[in-house]
Structure 1
Amino acid sequence: MKKGLIFYAIPKRWLNKLAIIITSLVVFSASAAQEIRFKVVDQSGNPVPNAVVSAQGEPQDHIDDMAVMDQVNSQFLPHVLVVQKNQSVRFPNSDDIRHHIYSFSQPKPFEIRLYKGEGSSPVTFDKPGVVVLGCNIHDQMIGYIYVAEHELTALTDENGEAILHTQATEFHVWQAKLSTSNSERITVTRETSDSAVQNVTLNLLEEKKPEVKRRKFSRKFSSGAH
């Protein structure tokens, strides 16, 4: 007698019940995540925009989606871009003048030489951390790419507010002016899970005008993505 796999036909009514059970579990899991509203202010009580609030958890963002860091009116737009590890970013130049953007940050040093329009290849950010962007022609141009790894993230708006849907009780908060390195974060622990509002106060450094000087690049940089 030959031995082999035995297949059983599953009645349709059982399949329907199984589908209902799976759907119920998904709905229950989603409803268990609480909506937490963050209100971030500085030491003077002023709202803090462009702060990244994060918690451990699987992000909804797909790393296959291309993110965009534009250049408009000689500024990076957005000022802070949040991506996930291994996500790629396009750097279009929407200005009528050319820019020469670069970063010396350890998570992703790179350079895209003078260009306009879409004349650059995407850059993939394969290490977590904060990447500080600059322009070798326009020193006032400073931007940031926050590269998350297995984190749920939210960016505060002009009112210093952000929302996360999570069951976490411990969070990290990053803002460029928290440290001179632009990379430090603080840890915030929720005292009670009953409150849907989490107030956060950051001690920020005074903003300093960028030094007017030109950067010199070595030949290790290429003119495109890494």
Structure 2
Amino acid sequence: MTLATVCLMNVRSRPVKACVHLCRYPSLAASATSDLPGARCRTAMRCGRMWTRKVINIVGTSALVLTGCLAGVALATPVTVTVQDAGGVLVDAVVSLETARPVPATGTSKTVSMDQLNSQFVPAVLAVRTGSLVRFPNNDQIRHQVYSFSPAKKFELPLFQGSTAAPVRFDQAGLVTVGCNIHDWMLGYIVVLDTPYFGKSGSDGRVQIDAPAGSYTLRVWHPRIKGAALSEPLVLSRDALQRRVTVQTTGTAPAVAPPDDRVRALQDKFRRAADPKKPSP
């Protein structure tokens, strides 16, 4: 059902009152009869416009069962995608379902974090919506200088330690490769997407996405993918769908660089600077 949001207050075999959020279908306002003060919908709605609450009469039936509110779109279909290469399933693959036109983001901007721990970015891969804010807290005992020269987002955070750096807003879709000017091996990837339908694979290589029925482009990206992201058409019906995708990869997974003598020296120097009471060797 794709009408305006309807939250049934009662379900019987006679006309019942309902709360209608008039957003995409203002013509339904003609059916409204009176305000319904105090009525609340228990399901989170996503609509970029102001809602108006009115009461209309709807013919209910004992066979009608609603378990939530219909938010102006068809019910979501679960899609499970398993990503693999020739060697097996892949962790940290970003899977997205994209429509012909970008889906506008609604609500407030989401803030996520890419930490710096043991001279590594954690997580190494982030997938975010356009407009999201990303924090780069530094939990190491040495300072880092985070930067990116990627076209989708160019930025640089001066040397810092702790959580003093301001968050960075990613407002353009694309792949952003993040590095550290001090530690060359540190690499992170932020995939910025113009769709709300995306996820990142876990240790089993699987991603589950809930999206309305319709036509999409399925895209799969991985840090070791050979060439551009895999792209193929996908049509969703109302039935749950499972898809296994095989991508070509290059090289091996990036190794976690253990602290060498140079890094240990930097760490010791930073600790001594932070603790003036500690005698220098």
TM-score (norm 2): 0.61
Bigger shift: residues 77-86 or 201-210: 201-210
What is the rounded CA distance, in whole Å, between the counterparts of 1:165 and 1:9 in structure 2?
A: 32
Query: Given the alignment of the two structures, is residue 198 of structure 1 paired with residue 240 of structure 2, yes or no?
Result: no
Partner residue, 1:34 = 77
- 1:12-161 equivalences under 5 Å are 15=55, 17=57, 26=70, 29=73, 31=75, 33-44=76-87, 46-56=88-98, 58=103, 62=107, 64-161=109-206
Partner residue, 2:33 = 10
Do the aligned partners of residues 209 and 139 (structure 1) sit closer, same or farther apart at CA in structure 2, a change above 3 Å counting?
farther
Cα offsets for 1:29-84 (capped at 9, x unmatched)? 453x211111110023x111111111126488855121211111111111111111
Bigger shift: residues 170-179 or 153-162: 170-179
Partner residue, 1:175 = 222
What is the rounded CA distance, in whole Å, between the counterparts of 1:126 and 1:28 in structure 2?
A: 26
Q: CA deviation at 1:99?
A: 0.8
| Count of residue correspondences | 200
What is the rounded CA distance, in whole Å, between the counterparts of 2:170 and 2:151 in structure 1?
A: 11
Q: CA deviation at 1:207?
A: 3.4
Point out where structure 2 has 5 or more consecutive residues left out of the alignment: 1-30, 37-53, 61-65, 256-281
Q: CA deviation at 1:104?
A: 1.1
* Structure 1 letter corresponding to 2:92: N
What is the rounded CA distance, in whole Å, between the counterparts of 1:9 and 1:173 in structure 2?
A: 46
* Structure 2 letter corresponding to 1:178: I
Q: CA RMSD in A?
A: 3.6
What is the rounded CA distance, in whole Å, between the counterparts of 1:179 and 1:152 in structure 2?
A: 24
Do the aligned partners of residues 148 and 11 (structure 1) sit closer, same or farther apart at CA in structure 2, a change above 3 Å counting?
closer
Instruction: Give the conservation status (yes or no) of the 8 Å contact 1:61–1:84.
Output: no
TM-score (norm 1): 0.74
Partner residue, 1:221 = none
Q: Kindly, what percent of the aligned residue pairs are identical?
A: 33
Q: CA deviation at 1:162?
A: 0.4
Q: CA deviation at 1:121?
A: 1.1
Instruction: Give the conservation status (yes or no) of the 8 Å contact 2:226–2:250.
Output: yes
- The match for 1:186 among 193, 205, 230 is 230
| Structure 1 ranges of 4+ moved more than 6 A | 22-25
What is the rounded CA distance, in whole Å, between the counterparts of 1:148 and 1:192 in structure 2?
A: 20
Q: CA deviation at 1:148?
A: 0.6
